[in-house]
Amino acid sequence: MNKPDISTVYNPKEVEEKWYQHWEENHFFHTEVDLSAKPFCIVMPPPNVTGQLHGGHALDNTLQDILTRFRRMQGCNTLWLPGTDHAGIATQAKVEEQLAQEGTTKHELGREKFLERVWAWKERYGGRITHQLRRLGASCDWERERFTMDEGCSSAVREVFIRLYEKGLIYRGNYITNWCPKCHTTISDIEVEHLDKPGHLYHLKYPAKDSADYLVVATTRPETMLGDVAVAVHPEDARYKHLVGKTVILPLVGREIPVIADEYVDPAFGTGALKITPAHDPNDFEVAQRHDLPSVQVIDKHGVMNETAGRYRGLDRWECRKKIVKDLDAQGYLIKIDDHDHAVGHCYRCNTVIEPMLSKQWFVRMRPLAEPAIKAAVDGSVKFIPERFTKIYLNWMENIRDWCISRQLWWGHRIPVWYCRACDELVASKTPVTVCPKCGGTQLEQDPDVLDTWFSSALWPFSTLGWPSETAELKHFYPTSVLVTGRDIIFFWVARMIFSGLEFMEEVPFREVFIHGLVLDALGRKMSKSLGNGIDPIDLIESHGADSLRFMLVTGNTPGNDLRFHFERLDGARNFANKLWNASRFSLMNLSDYDPEKPVDSQDYSLADRWMISRYQATVKSVTKNLEAYELGEAARSLYEFIWGEFCDWYLELIKPRVYGKEGEKARHTAQRVLASVLKGTLELLHPFMPFITEEIWQHLPHDGQTVMHAAWPVYKEDLIDPEAEKRMEILMEVTKEIRRIRSEMNVPPSKQAEAILLVEDEEVREILTGGISYIENLARCSSQTVSQLKDDLGQAVHAVTHGVEVYVPLKGLIDIDKEIARLEKELKSVKQDLAKVRGKLNNSGYLAKAPAEVIEKDRGKEAELAAKEKALAERISVLK
């Protein structure tokens, strides 16, 4: 080897830009079908084309990249297929905002010109998030990048729509849907965020016709009463049996409405009498269907009361509520108002309160599609990791409703249905229809609506591989190996992909679903703009490097559980990268004359060598096993402990006398062999987690191939596990640590050599200590002797016990004991003062009531730290006295 050309300080930005460009220019991420190799395929959950990288994206794509790099190094025919989603509502909103700034609207432009503007916006801004994913180190096959509205995916969407329509699984009908008055489109049930909001429960009097009797109805939405068509009670509710079949008078309106009995009503909620408003409540709609009741719509698509609302016409729904409550009170119909917190549906895009509304829409009939998807999870065809998410998936699938797939937008896959204006014929077709097949007319119009964005992304695992064409990629890589996704989109996406794959490919779309949690702030809150607690991964990459961010995201992370973001953990990951860099730099400096071709006899391995080789093999086994089990956090922890705690802190120190040539050339070359092979293998194990720094260092070591990402994954060799060497080194290391601890606690200057007396009765342990005494003396800066009994009075000495070894360190000549006691007592006094101040704050109820939670939590941590320090100082003073 030549002298290493490696900088003294690790510069992540310089290294990351250089290597990513090198990887991409050399097509190292690209995959062609190789029938001789086992396929491994991941399709990237497509981020919105409007999006920019956030904490969830960073975690999700880091996990995918780790698995991809791992399987690539194992020799699999590996494809990580990237792409973006057209994000119908979000993208259209972005362009409409631009138009508003220009003083125009989409309607003034017209549909065709508007879509040209959207495509132009996509071409200009749509690559932002894919560029950011490159900064993260994502090793996707960018040459195969897809877009949900590219021609291939669009063809698949039309094919699916027509097939489902022809099977009777897509239909058009009047049904209650979730309407967003701001986005002016329907959204599906699972796109509604239910947020707990303070509200009121209004108790209203509904008089019985021709009677002094009346019903009291409790409602949270009095403005919808204008559309009431009945009052429902439970069939077994004795309070109201005499009124069932009779009619009541709708207050303010004067319309007669029937009293009906239905088991949907909960007698224990409110008054047990429920107003039925089919046009503005999904449950009421179903009750009305069972009782053949009409629907009366009183709120329009802008959230404003319509002409049916009579004198309230033109009022915003919230203004109408105030006016109606005032009028009900004035006319004696308002009995009382209770405070009532309840879940209110909000649009997940714009946070506007959803208005349930009756409208004509396109739906997918879900029950026939859900049944095989349920079976696939029950029989293990699809395995959820962690397993507990199977129950969540099954619960949703077993209670699934028909899926509203039409959206009142212009950007998206337009519904492939045409209407004949001459004879009202409806024609579904994969290609444009210009002549009516029924009447021969040519006046046809395509349905103006587009399909729900999730309709196209439900086909992602097979449409991206070329379906409906039978491509080589589709045959080889489908079903894909694993889906990596957050716990928040099991229903949005995972379930839809499963039933779509089973319907059109007759096979599940992936064998396993690896679910991860959300990235939360340090207090466990979801990150959001309103809270101002979000993180920008690109900023973190700029300040700490992509490798540090990736390693922080995965360490301490367990499948399915949320991850709290702490800057201290990110700093710790950066420290780990610097530790690895400095250790590697030391290694490379001492490998400059290393000849890998020169043979080494394993009989020449020292105890430290045999221990290091054994610990490295144990790490290979642990990392590989945990990666295969999707315990990526555990795999990272194994690597961290091995690299920092064993390789850097111990092995490099243990071999310094040999690599410095103090024990001869043969010993030096043997140490170099172990050092080079273990460092190279360790970098290969770490590469999936920290791809940039490992590539940079690996390139300076003896290696085969152009890149570490194509190196063979290290293989566990059981015959190299050496329990005896590990046992011996553990004893030597523990004794060394005790001597070091004593030196540190007694404030012994590093320049002074201590004396250590090791009292041990066990002959085997004594033999181990005698054989490894040079390790102890070098690493603990001491002269030592092993004895079976104490012969002399040691005077003032600090004592410790480990592994049956009594360690004595005489203090005479090492420190000025009186001076040290005085120093410790002064420090103890200061610590006690600080502790009293912190406890004073924490015992102050006023402070606890006003201070932010994160400040209080910080103070509690400080209290625990100071209390521990107080105890340790008192113990040291006691020993010295």
Binding residues: 529
Task: Concatenate the DSSP letters of all residues of 532-590 into one string.
Answer: T----HHHHHHHH-HHHHHHHHHTT--TT--EE--HHHHHHHHHHHHHHHHHHHHHHHT
- 294 Cβ contact list (under 8 Å, min separation 6): 229, 278, 288
Contact 77, 141 (CB under 8 A): no
Residue 426, classed as helix, strand or coil, is strand
Pairing between β-strand 355-364 and β-strand 403-404 as defined by DSSP bridges: antiparallel
Task: Concatenate the DSSP letters of all residues of 29-50 into one string.
Answer: T-----TTS-EEEEE--PPBTT
Burial readout 760-774 (b: 16 or more C-beta within 10 A, e: otherwise): beeeebbebbeebbe
Contact 243, 216 (CB under 8 A): no
Residue owning tokens 């009361």: 305
Spatial separation of the C-alpha atoms in residues 627 and 688, rounded to whole Å = 10
Within 10 angstroms of residue 487's Cβ, the number of other Cβ atoms is 17
Chain centre distance of CA 123: 28
Dihedral sign for Cα atoms in the order 294, 299, 301, 307: positive
Residue 100: exposure state from Cβ atoms within 10 A (0-12, 13-18, ≥19): exposed
The encoded tokens of residue 252 equal 């303010």
Residue 157, classed as helix, strand or coil, is helix
**By C-alpha distance, which of 492, 453, 421, 378 is closest to 157?**
453
- 390 Cβ contact list (under 8 Å, min separation 6): 377, 384
For 722-816, where are the alpha helices, taking DSSP H only?
A: 723-745, 763-771, 773-780
- 860 Cβ contact list (under 8 Å, min separation 6): 842
- Prior bond of 386 cis (ω within 30°): yes
Contact 229, 257 (CB under 8 A): yes
Task: Concatenate the DSSP letters of all residues of 318-339 into one string.
Answer: HHHHHHHHHHHHHTT-EEEEEE
Spatial separation of the C-alpha atoms in residues 719 and 726, rounded to whole Å = 14
- 661 Cβ contact list (under 8 Å, min separation 6): 668
Spatial separation of the C-alpha atoms in residues 631 and 628, rounded to whole Å = 8
Binding site members for ATP? 529
In eight-state DSSP terms, residue 223 is G
Residue owning tokens 């972005």: 94
Spatial separation of the C-alpha atoms in residues 89 and 112, rounded to whole Å = 17
Q: State the Cα angle at 306 between 301 and 308, rounded to 5°.
A: 135
Q: State the Cα angle at 318 between 313 and 324, rounded to 5°.
A: 60
Spatial separation of the C-alpha atoms in residues 224 and 835, rounded to whole Å = 60
In eight-state DSSP terms, residue 7 is -
Largest CA distance in the chain: 117
**By C-alpha distance, which of 853, 589, 658, 423 is closest to 1?**
589
The encoded tokens of residue 744 equal 């540190």
